[in-house]
Amino acid sequence: MSGEYRQAYDRSMTDPDGFWREAAALIDWYTEPETIMDASALPFSRWFAGGELNTCHNALDRHVDAGRGDQVALIHDSPVTDSQQRFTYAELRDLVARFAGVLRSVGVGKGDRVIIYMPMVPEAAVAMLACARLGAVHSVVFGGFAARELAVRIDDATPSAIVSASCGIEGRRIVEYKPLLDRAIELAEHDPGRSIVLQRPQYEAPMTDRDLDWAEAMAAAEPTECVPVAATDPLYVLYTSGTTGKPKGVQRDNGGHAVALRWSLPAIYDVGPGEVMFTASDVGWVVGHSYIVYAPLLTGATTVLYEGKPIGTPDAGAFWRVIQDHRVKALFTAPTAFRGIKKEDPDAVLLRDYDISSLQTLFLAGERLDPETWMWASEKLGVPVVDHWWQTETGWPIAANLRGLEPMELKAGSPSVPCPGYQVDVLDVDGTELPRGEEGAIVIKLPMPPGCLQTLWEDDERFRESYMSRYEGYYLTGDGGYVDDDGYVFVMGRTDDVINVAGHRLSTGSMEEVLAGHPDVAECAVIGVHDAMKGQVPRGFVVLKSGVTRGEDEIAPELVALVRNEVGAVASFKNVAVVPALPKTRSGKVLRKTMRQIADGQDAMVPSTIDDATVLDTLRPVLQKGPQAGG
């Protein structure tokens, strides 16, 4: 170890202004910031106040102006449509400038919100960057969410326009997005203005008066210049799952975000200008925002936007082919993708057909990386496999092995060490700092570094209450774990009702709300249980209203269909059991954690405050038996 990590980390703690001022020099400013870190109103902090910039300028125009317009900025690789498209920085800049003109023509201006509900097409990135160009605030909604979830986000973000597509493609299945969009607009109370719809050849959607055709609008549009915004103005709002059914609108600024992401790409991922990064996620998640779109483009690298799965279309060699075709240096995905590949091709026979010699590192995040998957990937790929840990709220890694700064020892089960700017502590229930090796709530001491959430969209109170009120002076990550003697962080899992299904963060609360809406259901609980491929999957338990005579075989499929229609296919909600009662404490709280422990075959902690132990005894065999039929 050369000590570069320690030096950088210590400096970020003792001299945050100096550390981040230097990082900010990698960004073009119209007006230099007056202050670097303003922590005078904690738990709210402001970065680079007084500074003015434009994120789209930094992601595109800046590289063109510097003479790199002919370099490839974005590669759309789409095995599901059997196509590949390359866009240079100059081409992407022109498209984005034109689309910004389209948005302006429908009345979108600085500070207005725009919802983007799209599959993995290059136009999704174009729409995001066009918003940034205008100083508008984008809110990308993952395509796997159904109409009701989209409607909730429309009502919260109150957009001035929506950008969507006629369809997405899941394997060989065409998912018609436009009818979902129309339904969401019907369900929402807020009128979202015009929708700009990309018609794809796989499905031509019927258009209404509200809709503008993407291609026609682009043909008529005037290119638009970048609008300077304050560093502290919001760049985007990204909804993520909390413990209740209502998603949280994580708000991120322009300045802190640009600086942190630009710093992170070479330091953590060891990717610099002209190098190729392949992040296999979706633009609807934070991983897609940060490492498909913003960080690679802010850095002047080449990003691969991949429309497909790691397996199935055509086979478990899909990623190897992408690495070979585009000379990918760093691959970033979720562990579940590798569990999927391992399941289909346990000996990685398909790897022999490809030249993946360009690959230097595999990065995994989004869920716990089990040591078995880590070992398998390390052995088969022959490159370092780097687990790293972060969240929608932080926008970039909290803990990682910083491959560009100083590669350090990798330890199974650990996302390595805290990144500069993050003071990670582990606290006991009463707020006492726990000694090394002891498990508790993982927290981050305030202020958080640049790039982290500013607040929740139009809900400062929920921001305080969700993250900042549990332990004063700390941000609550919602994850539990410990730090070992070498300072390595071990993240063991969520301490709340958020679950992680195939790397997708979901709320059991939103599924419970849907189940509770079924006319025969009196009460219900949804828990996340272990799944060999997806890490976790949800399991539902419902108690029927008295007098209901229909049985589980009839009601369970209805409930499965209801969650799929209202939350979305991505919930992977396939198992629900009808039970006589739910175990509760005397104060009426359902013992979800105890249920989860029994279902996962762990030693269950049954609280002394249990109301009626016989209820749990009756439920035990159902939990232990595993999933019930229903989907």
> Could you tell which of ligand COA, ligand AMP, none binds residue 491, using a CB distance below 5 to 8 A set by kind?
ligand AMP
Q: How far is the CB of 189 from ligand AMP (least distance, A)?
A: 27
How far is the C-alpha of 200 from the C-alpha of 177, rounded, in Å?
A: 11
494 binds ligand AMP, rule: CB under 6 A:
yes
> Could you tell which of ligand COA, ligand AMP, none binds residue 454, using a CB distance below 5 to 8 A set by kind?
none
> Could you tell which of ligand AMP, ligand COA, none binds residue 149, using a CB distance below 5 to 8 A set by kind?
none
Site string for ligand AMP, 221-250 (x = CB under 6 A): -------------------x----------
296 binds ligand AMP, rule: CB under 6 A:
no
- Among the listed ranges 202-210, 257-265, 388-396, 573-581, the one in contact with ligand AMP (CB under 6 A) is 388-396
Which residues in 10-39 contact ligand AMP (CB under 6 A)?
A: none
> Could you tell which of ligand AMP, ligand COA, none binds residue 175, using a CB distance below 5 to 8 A set by kind?
ligand COA
566 binds ligand AMP, rule: CB under 6 A:
no
Which of residues 398 and 526 has its CB atom nearest to ligand AMP in the complex? 398
- Which one among 60, 491, 511, 570 touches ligand AMP, defined by CB under 6 A? 491
> Could you tell which of ligand COA, ligand AMP, none binds residue 311, using a CB distance below 5 to 8 A set by kind?
ligand COA
* Token pair 């670097």: residue: 36
Please classify residue 316 by burial: count the beta carbons closer than 10 Å to its beta carbon, then call 0-12 exposed, 13-18 middle and 19+ buried.
buried
528 binds ligand AMP, rule: CB under 6 A:
no
Q: How far is the CB of 242 from ligand AMP (least distance, A)?
A: 10
DSSP 90-152: HHHHHHHHHHHHHHHHTT--TT-EEEEE--S-HHHHHHHHHHHHHT-EEEE--TTS-HHHHHH
The answer to whether the CB of 550 falls within 8 A of the CB of 569 is: no
366 binds ligand AMP, rule: CB under 6 A:
yes
568 binds ligand AMP, rule: CB under 6 A:
no
User: 179 vs 80, 142, 317, CA distance in Å?
Assistant: 21, 15, 34
User: 562 vs 271, 515, 573, 630, CA distance in Å?
Assistant: 43, 8, 10, 12
Contacts with ligand COA by CB under 6 A lie at 119, 143-144, 168, 170, 175, 281-282, 285, 287, 309-311, 333-334, 336-337, 340, 366, 501-504, 569-570, 572
The partner residues of 96 in beta bridges, in order of sequence, read none
**223: cis peptide before it, omega within 30°?**
no
Q: How far is the CB of 343 from ligand COA (least distance, A)?
A: 9
How far is the C-alpha of 30 from the C-alpha of 624, rounded, in Å?
A: 61
> Could you tell which of ligand AMP, ligand COA, none binds residue 392, using a CB distance below 5 to 8 A set by kind?
ligand AMP
Q: How far is the CB of 228 from ligand COA (least distance, A)?
A: 32
> Could you tell which of ligand AMP, ligand COA, none binds residue 415, using a CB distance below 5 to 8 A set by kind?
ligand AMP
The answer to whether the CB of 339 falls within 8 A of the CB of 313 is: no
Q: How far is the CB of 424 from ligand AMP (least distance, A)?
A: 13
- Which one among 253, 282, 387, 497 touches ligand AMP, defined by CB under 6 A? 387
How far is the C-alpha of 502 from the C-alpha of 494, rounded, in Å?
A: 15
The answer to whether the CB of 268 falls within 8 A of the CB of 419 is: yes
Please name which of 271, 317, 316, 314 lies closest in space to residue 292, comparing C-alpha atoms.
271
149 binds ligand AMP, rule: CB under 6 A:
no
Q: How far is the CB of 508 from ligand AMP (least distance, A)?
A: 14
How far is the C-alpha of 474 from the C-alpha of 321, rounded, in Å?
A: 44
Which of residues 387 and 497 has its CB atom nearest to ligand AMP in the complex? 387
Which residues in 497-516 contact ligand AMP (CB under 6 A)?
A: 500, 505
Which of residues 500 and 572 has its CB atom nearest to ligand AMP in the complex? 500
End-to-end CA distance of the chain: 52
- The DSSP element (H or E) to which 386 belongs, if any, is strand 385-387
405 binds ligand AMP, rule: CB under 6 A:
no
> Could you tell which of ligand AMP, ligand COA, none binds residue 387, using a CB distance below 5 to 8 A set by kind?
ligand AMP
The answer to whether the CB of 128 falls within 8 A of the CB of 547 is: no
Q: How far is the CB of 363 from ligand AMP (least distance, A)?
A: 10
> Could you tell which of ligand AMP, ligand COA, none binds residue 160, using a CB distance below 5 to 8 A set by kind?
none
> Could you tell which of ligand AMP, ligand COA, none binds residue 505, using a CB distance below 5 to 8 A set by kind?
ligand AMP
> Could you tell which of ligand COA, ligand AMP, none binds residue 264, using a CB distance below 5 to 8 A set by kind?
none
Q: How far is the CB of 351 from ligand COA (least distance, A)?
A: 17
How far is the C-alpha of 584 from the C-alpha of 577, rounded, in Å?
A: 17
The answer to whether the CB of 365 falls within 8 A of the CB of 387 is: yes
If one counts every other C-beta atom within 10 angstroms of the C-beta of residue 589, the result is 12
482 binds ligand AMP, rule: CB under 6 A:
no
Which of residues 415 and 418 has its CB atom nearest to ligand AMP in the complex? 415
Which of residues 20 and 332 has its CB atom nearest to ligand COA in the complex? 332
392 binds ligand AMP, rule: CB under 6 A:
yes
With a CB cutoff of 8 Å and minimum separation 6, the contacts of 625 are none
The partner residues of 333 in beta bridges, in order of sequence, read 364
Which residues in 452-481 contact ligand AMP (CB under 6 A)?
A: 477-479
Which of residues 224 and 336 has its CB atom nearest to ligand AMP in the complex? 336
SS (H, E, C) 515-565: HHCCCCEEEEEEEEEEECCCEEEEEEEEEECCCCCCCHHHHHHHHHHHHHH
Which of residues 199 and 336 has its CB atom nearest to ligand AMP in the complex? 336
282 binds ligand AMP, rule: CB under 6 A:
no
Please, what is the angle between helix 552-566 and helix 508-516, to 10°? Answer: 120
User: 380 vs 136, 348, 362, 452, CA distance in Å?
Assistant: 44, 7, 11, 35
Q: How far is the CB of 590 from ligand COA (least distance, A)?
A: 26
The answer to whether the CB of 137 falls within 8 A of the CB of 110 is: no
> Could you tell which of ligand AMP, ligand COA, none binds residue 69, using a CB distance below 5 to 8 A set by kind?
none
* Token pair 């005894």: residue: 617
CA 263 to chain centre: 20
Which of residues 231 and 365 has its CB atom nearest to ligand AMP in the complex? 365
How far is the C-alpha of 237 from the C-alpha of 392, rounded, in Å?
A: 10
Q: How far is the CB of 297 from ligand COA (least distance, A)?
A: 18
Site residues (vs ligand AMP, CB under 6 A): 240, 285-286, 365-369, 387-389, 391-392, 415, 477-479, 491, 494, 500, 505
